[in-house]
């Protein structure tokens, strides 16, 4: 019996253990040579944890805070995600299919009973009289059978066949001109029991592989395939959770950036308002500042809306019940965005991908199923030669019928009627062996006594003249094997392309972080210089606001670059199928196949 435990996730059917540990990605850090180069060469946390976004949003209670780490988000997804539950059901379905296939070897008990009444015309004057030209037979059959298929492809069957029969058929005889009517059978009712054992064993076709064994082996590979697909789905869900989590971090942090930009615009408006009141600034500058405040207010509102969208995407992955109270929670991510350059080259990444990718494992299982088909259809091309053996024992019992005979005295002389002088007739039971007198139990005991036994041995041979069915199935299986070879080549090539692209995405994201960081620093200096020029009367509000917008965009771009980098790392883990190892997730199964 296959036992599968998935802790918390599969509830007694399988085990999926999420080992608690660090969530930091296992990437090597590059050493730094001097403090001046630390910022450029050493991974560091440049953005701290986000703060709770306590603003009204649709379907969200701002005060119902749910602090959530990436570790917790992944654990919730493994426990609640509906797609994972669907894959879990697929595994259970494959387990039940294997159980059903193995059920072909279950012992089958059978019982049948049939009652028959037949009235037939008499064809002889010796069996009926002229006044009754027909007789009636009544027969009751009640049989018990036990049979089973054998793992060798053969089968056995044990039967106990029982018959109870009664008849009103008589035999007409005449003694000295006197007609008598006696039963035509020795026992009425009569009981016949037969104990029989049959064995059939293929010697050529279906000897090493038959349809039942084929179905069982294919079901085993299908279960392995379901396990692998479950593992693949877990990796995909974890990757989606990572992406959704970092999108939420970006959305919340983007609101902070938009609010900071709005605060700068408001401060600029208040400063311009004082200068207009003092007469040192034209009123037109004030209108421009007011318009900019309203525009940035709209940006804050839009950013808050994006938080709800990102939060709902994450909740959709980690919550399985649409009525869960956590849908109204205000999620607060507790992870900071890290920049950890990976120390992995293309050859190592490709080697890990070819070792770990579930798709390659699934292809191997499909190839194993194909090999089973090839073995089976090759076997079906052989002649059918079966050994057939039977052994049986019969038993008989019943109630002896009465017969008419001339009555004799103690000396054996016929007794005559004193008045007519004719012999006196009497009815006595038939003379039968005492061992046969009894009912159904007596007939069954006689059958098991093995006194009346029979046995036979033989060979059964059959073979189609052309056997095109087996040849066609075998040819189709060969074509499928060649197709699987090409699929493997295509999959390996696809994995190689995915690894190349994933590494390139990580490198592009890393370079974007450096460029975005440099741009943000430059924009900060540019705004600072423009603000000083404005205070000295050498610039206008338009340029100050413009550089504020440049700085806000640079901050958002740097944040997006960091988020994209972490998502690129997650995608690289998925491509190499190291996601489970990176987050210390163990999927194991115990099976008794």
3-state class of 537 per DSSP?
Answer: coil
* pLDDT tens column, 484-541: 999 999 999 999 999 999 999 999 998 898 898 898 899 889 888 888 887 777 877 7
Half-sphere exposure of 243 (CA within 13 A, CB side): 16
How high is the pLDDT of residue 589?
A: 52
Residue for token pair 């056997």: 467
Tell me how far CA of residue 249 lies from CA of 70, 292, 398, 535, 591, in angstroms.
Answer: 11, 26, 93, 36, 41
Instruction: Return d(Cα 297, Cα 554) in angstroms, integer.
Output: 18
Spatial neighbors of 29 by CB under 8 A, at least 6 apart, are 42, 43, 340, 341
DSSP assignment, residue 382?
S
Round to whole Å and give the CA distance between 336 and 330: 18
Place of tokens 């082996």: 217
* pLDDT value at residue 551: 86
Residue 122's SS3 state is: coil
Q: 387 pLDDT exceeds 90? A: yes
Reference 254, options 308, 191, 215, 214; nearest CA is: 308
How many residues make up the chain in this entry?
593
Average pLDDT over every residue of 35-57: 58
Domain ranges of the chain: 55-100+214-377+470-588, 155-205+384-462
Residue 438, pLDDT above cutoff 60: yes
Q: What percent of the chain has pLDDT over 90?
A: 45
pLDDT tens per residue, range 135-166: 788 999 999 999 999 999 999 999 999 999 99
- pLDDT at position 18 is 33
Q: For residue 336, give Cα distances in angstroms to 70, 71, 393, 556.
A: 10, 13, 85, 16
Supply the CATH classification number for the domain 55-100+214-377+470-588. 1.20.1600.10
pLDDT for 583: 83
* Cα maximum dimension of the chain: 170
């Amino acid at each position: 019996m296959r036992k599968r435990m998935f802790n918390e996730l599969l509830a007694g059917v399988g085990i999926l253990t999420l080992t608690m540990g660090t969530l930091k990605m296992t990437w090597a850090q590059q050493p730094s040579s001097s403090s001046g180069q630390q910022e450029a060469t050493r991974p560091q946390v440049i953005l701290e944890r986000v703060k709770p976004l306590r603003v009204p949003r649709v379907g969200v209670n701002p005060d119902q805070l749910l602090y959530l780490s990436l570790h917790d988000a992944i654990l919730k997804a493994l426990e609640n995600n509906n797609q994972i539950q669907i894959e879990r059901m697929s595994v259970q379905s494959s387990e039940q299919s294997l159980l059903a296939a193995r059920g072909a070897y279950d012992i089958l008990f059978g019982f049948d009973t049939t009652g028959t009444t037949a009235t037939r015309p008499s064809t002889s004057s010796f069996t009926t009289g002229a006044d009754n030209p027909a007789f009636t037979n009544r027969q009751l059959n009640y049989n018990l059978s036990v049979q089973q298929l054998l793992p060798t492809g053969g089968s056995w069957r044990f039967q106990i066949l029982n018959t109870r029969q009664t008849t009103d058929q008589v035999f007409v005889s005449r003694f000295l001109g006197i007609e008598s009517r006696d039963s035509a059978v020795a026992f009425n009712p009569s009981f016949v029991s037969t104990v029989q054992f049959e064995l059939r064993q293929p010697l050529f076709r279906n000897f090493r592989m038959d349809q039942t064994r084929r179905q069982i082996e294919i079901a085993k590979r299908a279960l392995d395939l379901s396990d692998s697909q479950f593992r693949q789905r877990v990796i995909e869900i974890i990757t989606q959770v990572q992406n959704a989590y970092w999108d939420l971090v970006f959305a919340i942090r983007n609101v902070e950036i938009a609010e900071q930009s709005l605060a700068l615009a408001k401060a600029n408006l208040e400063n311009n308002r004082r200068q207009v009141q003092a007469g040192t600034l034209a009123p037109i500058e004030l209108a421009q500042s007011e318009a900019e405040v309203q525009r940035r207010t709209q940006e804050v509102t839009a950013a808050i809306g994006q938080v709800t969208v990102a939060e709902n995407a994450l909740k959709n992955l980690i919550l399985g019940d649409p009525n869960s109270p956590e849908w109204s929670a205000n999620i607060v991510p507790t992870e900071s965005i890290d920049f950890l350059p990976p120390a992995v080259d293309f050859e190592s990444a490709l080697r890990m991908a070819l070792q770990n990718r579930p798709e390659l494992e699934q292809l191997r299982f499909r190839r194993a199923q194909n090999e089973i088909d090839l073995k089976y259809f090759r076997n079906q091309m052989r002649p059918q030669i079966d050994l057939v053996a039977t052994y049986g024992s019969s038993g008989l019992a019943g109630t002896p019928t009465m017969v008419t005979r001339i009555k004799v005295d103690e000396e054996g002389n016929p007794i005559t009627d004193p008045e007519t002088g004719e012999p006196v007739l009497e009815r006595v039971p038939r003379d039968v062996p005492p061992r046969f007198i009894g009912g159904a139990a007596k007939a069954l005991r006689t059958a098991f006594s093995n006194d009346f036994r029979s046995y036979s041995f033989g060979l059964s041979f059959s073979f189609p003249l052309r056997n095109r069915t087996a040849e066609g199935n075998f040819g189709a299986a060969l074509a499928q094997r060649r197709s699987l070879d090409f699929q493997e080549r295509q999959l390996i090539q696809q994995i190689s392309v995915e690894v190349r692209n994933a590494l390139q995405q990580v490198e592009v994201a890393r370079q974007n972080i450096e460029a975005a960081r440099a741009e943000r620093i430059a924009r900060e200096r540019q705004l600072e210089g423009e603000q000083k020029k404005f205070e000295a009367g050498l610039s206008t509000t338009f340029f100050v606001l413009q550089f504020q917008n440049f700085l806000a965009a640079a901050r958002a771009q740097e944040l997006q670059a960091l988020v994209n980098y972490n998502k690129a790392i997650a995608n690289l883990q998925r491509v190499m199928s190291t996601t489970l190892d990176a987050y210390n997730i163990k999927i194991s199964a115990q099976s008794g196949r």
